[in-house]
Each structure stands twice: as C-alpha cells, then as structure tokens.
Chains A and B, each alone.
Chain A
Amino acid sequence: MVLAVEAKRLSVGYEELEELLWAVREASFEVGEGEAFCIVGESGSGKSTVASAIAGILPPHAVTDGELRIWGKLVVKGNERSYEGVRGRLVTYVPQSPGASLNPYLEIGDQFYHVLNNLYGLNRREALEKARAYLKMAGLEPDAVLDRYPHELSGGMQQRAAIALSLSTGAKILVADEPTSSLDAHLRLQIVELLKRLRVEAGLTLIFITHDMLLAGALSERIAVMYAGYLVELGPAREVLRKPLHPYTSMLIESVPVLGIKRPLKTYAGEPPGPGKLGKGCPFYDRCPFRLGVCAAETPPAKEVGESHHVACWLY
C-alpha cells in the first residue's frame, strides 16, 4: 500500500509572546492511499493543527519538528517546510465555515477560474468547463451556481461549492476540517453522504477532522483520538468505538447524546488544558478516574494493544 500521509514524531507549535506553545506533540501516524481517516478531539486538542500541517497551510510563525511526508515527498523536516508541488496539487482542504472562506466578492465561477488559472494556467472557458463537472459531482446544478456570489447560496450549497472547488484541483488527498459543524442536522447528513460518495467516485484519500466520535465511526475506517496535543489512541474505527482503550476515548463516546438511546451522560470533571499548560506526565492525568502513580511522573508512550490498535496510556 502506498502511503498518502506519513507523520513521524510530528510536533507543531506556535510562537506567542516570546513563548513557544506546542499544539501537537510528537504525533506518529500513517494514512494509506484511498483510506478514510478521522482525527477526533475537542477544541485545543491540536486536531486542526494536524490538518493544517497536512494541507500545507500552517501560518509562517508556526514551528515544526519531526517529519511529515505526503505521497512520499518530505514536506516537513525539523523546522523546514516545503509544500511546493504538494499544496493544492496533491492535497486539498475544505475549511470549517464555507461562508467565511469563499471570496465574497467573486462569483463562484470566477473562484474556480482563479484557482485553476493559478495552478494550471487554464483559460476561462476551460476552467468553467471543469467547474461544471465538479459542481455536478458535488450535487449542485452548475447553471444555478456559477454566476452567483457566495452570499446568494444557502449554507449547504456553499459547503458543496467549497468541496467542488477543492476537488477541482485534481488533488487526491482531501483534508476536511469539521466541514459539517456549522450546518444544521439534516444538511450534516447530506454532506457526510457526499464525502462518502466522492471518496469512491474520485478515488480520494479522506482525512476528516471532527469532535463527534459517532460521525467519525460512520465515515471512516480508522480513528485517531487527540487530547491536549497528544495522539492518545489510534485504531480501526469499529475497534475504537466498541472497545475504547484510553479513558478519554470512552468518555468522548459516552458523553455524546444519541437520538433514540437514553442513558446517563458520562462526564469527568474538568476541561482540556490550554496550550502550554501541561506539566510532566499524562495529559489526561487531572481528569482520569483510573490514574496511577506513574501517570503523574511520565508521559505514556504509544503501545500496540490488539491488532493495529495503539494507545498511549499506562493502564496497558
């Protein structure tokens, strides 16, 4: 299997007020070609930072360490980053809020033209032809969309247009950062269905960022769970949902309200620590009901427990 993404001890931090705050710490994972891979976590877990690192849109003041490869091409090595020929061409990105990311002053057709002209030098006619094909693929009627401004479209249509725009570059890795969180419940389902279909039709490798464990289970083959910048659990979606190993993963699963199933919502007191607020030891130490003496002193390393199921926890 060819690896679409390969991260080795990848760390990403941001410099703020002369202080370096690590948002992602030594994450190692691989995503195979054509795979659907979900990164699950709450705000501040570092999941969006991983997405930005893969998509090549880390801000200039970000500091990196470790290695990241996209289709075998080294894009991050230590604090050196080079996404030339990768960003947009191999990997593309669907942002969280489509209304805020489409250019409000350009008609949808023109946005396609700008992207395709910049990347491949297509002329207007060629670009619009391509736009039609991708808009249709995303379930939109091209004639109803091409000469509209983003504000003239509904939220669901904006998100579809943004997805079509991302795919039109021909990139085979799609990084989607919470593409459904700003949408109403029934639109959420439509967008998830769309991504599942596009993955098959366009042969995409899908990297999906979400805070919703059950959505991750419905969409992906493998799930990575992040907490406070650490990758705490990684495994096949079914395994992670059925037999979560890390206490944080079980809490995430059991704190989600599920329609039609009424059970007490499990919570552990406290909230995820902010960036840079971590001391020694396990990041989940303060909230963990099963903590041991060793948890306070040392950060647990990732261990393989069961087939391709990894967890970073001293309980195992």
Chain B
Amino acid sequence: MSRAGSTDLAVELREVSAGYFVAEGLKALRRKYVEVLRGVSLRVDGGERVAVIGESGSGKTTLLKVVLGLLQPMRGDVVVLGHRIYDIPERERWKVTRRIGYVPQDPFRALNPRLKVADIITEPLSRLHLPEDEKEERVRAAVKMVQLHESVLNHYPSRLSGGMMQRVLIARAVVHEPELLLLDEPTSALDVSTQAQVINLLNGIQERLKCAMVTVTHDLAVAQYLADRAVILYKGVVVEEGPLDEIVRNPKSEHARVLVASYTLGVSNPPIPASFV
C-alpha cells in the first residue's frame, strides 16, 4: 500500500512545554504544576522512523501523550497529521487520532482481560463504519501480519504469553492502517529472543504500511534497529538530535556520551562473539 502524501509532515512539535498537576499537602488541597517537557521541538516526516531516547523520567511517555491528544501542553504548538490537534474540540479529536496506531508500554496490563482477542483488535475499526465481513477480514489480516495463529482470536488475553500479548497490541495498533505508529518501549517487557522477533516484525509492518514510526525507548541498541533518526531527551529537554548512526559514532552532548559509553560495559576487551565480526 502506498500513500500519496507519504513525504508530508507526520508530527511537528514547536517549543512544547507540558506537565502534570500533582496534589500537594496532607489533604491534597493544593495542586502543584510539575513540568515534564520543557520547550521540546520535534519533526517527524511521513514514512520516517524516529526514536525518542531517554532514561526514566526524561519525559518520553509524556511526549507520546501530547502527540496522542491526551495531554494539552501549557505552551507550544502540536501539529499531528496536518492538524493542530489541541485546536480541535476534545470530542472531535478522534477524527485525527484514529489515523494513529499506538502500542502502550506494558503488554501485561494494556489488554482488557474481559475482551476476547478478536474484540480487542476490532476496537479501532469501530468508528470506520465498515461492513462486518470487511472488519473481520481486516482483523484476520492484522493477526496474520503479526504472525499469530488465527485461533488466538477466540482466546482471552490471560491465555497468552508476553510475546503473544505484545503481538496482539501491535495488531490492534495497525489494523486500521495508521499513517503514524507510536511505540512506547515496545520490547522492554520481552525476553531477548522474543524482542528480536518483535523488532523484525515492526520493521516489516512499517515497510508495508509506509507509516511514520516513532519509538520511545531507553535502549540505544534497540533503537538502532527501529529508527534512522534519534532525538535524545534528558530531563524534558532535547539535548541531541540527528542520524542514529552518527550519534552512536560521535555523540556530541554529555548525556549522549554517557549513554553510548554505558554500552561498552566498562571492559577494555569484551569477548565479542565470532559471529559479529
């Protein structure tokens, strides 16, 4: 499937500051504003693969919430798929957000335990007014795309393993063929071999849908496989931005240097498996 406007801008954030109001004091009478994102600017072109890299508390997930139309920023402009999303009334925002696919962080907690897998994956299609048989067709296609057996459609999530749950989440995120795919730590809850399967799967899907893909992760090595360009976030500020290979080879900011250095594991001569050379 190709998209006419695949070179268009998928996301643009200009000087965005956002945060949360936190209850303060014994009776929670006062509310304090805690700023998480501080003047973040970011551009993602259509069809582009971008990673947002940062440690816990750097504002990665908050950034995704802002893009998803779930958290109104205090300052700055947010343009998603050509719309200033916060200028649209909240009730109408789904018209833009239905063109987004989202894979939340923890597969073990992100699936409704009372719904069968088939119903979970059908949900994003509910506003598209498709005939029933086409809906079923699309759900089957999505399940096939994530390499699950059709029999899982009749299961409840509790019967699935972590890797299978993650695939169901991905199927739900791509069933409506989104133009923008947002992934929040898509592999951090998985084992290494399952992680590799999911990485290969996501790249296959991105290539097929030609969608923009934004991956939020704390793992530079994983990002290497899921993105071409990276934005490094530290305490809510973008400290470095550029081609991922370039950042890995020649990190400019102090924080990026620390990140890259932490992968050499502090050994001067690590035993490199023969298959890597």
Contacts and interface: CB of A to CB of B under 8 A. Distances in A.
A257 B259 contact: no
B262 A188 contact: yes
Given A252-B192, A265-B199, A242 B222 contact: no
A118 B214 CA distance: 52
Nearest to A287: B193
B86 interface: no
Contacts of B258: 186
25 contacts: A42-B191, A185-B219, A185-B220, A186-B261, A212-B192, A214-B265, A214-B270, A217-B271, A218-B265, A238-B271, A241-B273, A242-B271, A250-B275, A256-B221, A257-B196, A257-B222, A258-B221, A258-B263, A259-B221, A259-B248, A260-B263, A266-B196, A267-B196, A269-B197, A272-B191
Interface of B is mostly: helix
Interface string B250-277: 0000000011111101110011111110
A188 B259 CA distance: 11
Interface in B200-237: 200, 218-222, 224-225
A155 interface: yes
Interface residues of A, number: 46
Interface pairs A-B: 5 shortest CB-CB: A255-B196, A42-B191, A265-B196, A257-B221, A184-B55
Interface string A226-242: 00000000000110011
A43 interface: yes
Contacts of A258: 221, 263, 276
B163 interface: yes
B12 to A, nearest CB: 28
Given A186-B258, A250-B275, A260 B192 contact: no
Contact of A252 (B163, B193, B219): B193
B99 to A, nearest CB: 30
Given A189-B265, A255-B193, A267 B273 contact: no
B7 interface: no
Interface residues of B, number: 41
A192, A254, A257, A269, most chain B CB atoms within 10 A:
A257
B193 A251 contact: yes
Interface of A: 42-43, 155, 184-186, 188-189, 192-193, 196, 211-215, 217-218, 237-238, 241-244, 250-263, 265-269, 271-272, 274
A186 B258 CA distance: 7
Nearest to B218: A184
Contact of B224 (A214, A244, A259, A266): A259
Nearest to B201: A267
A13 B270 CA distance: 36
Given A265-B199, A266-B196, 5 more contacts: A43-B191, A237-B271, A255-B192, A257-B222, A271-B161
Nearest to B188: A181
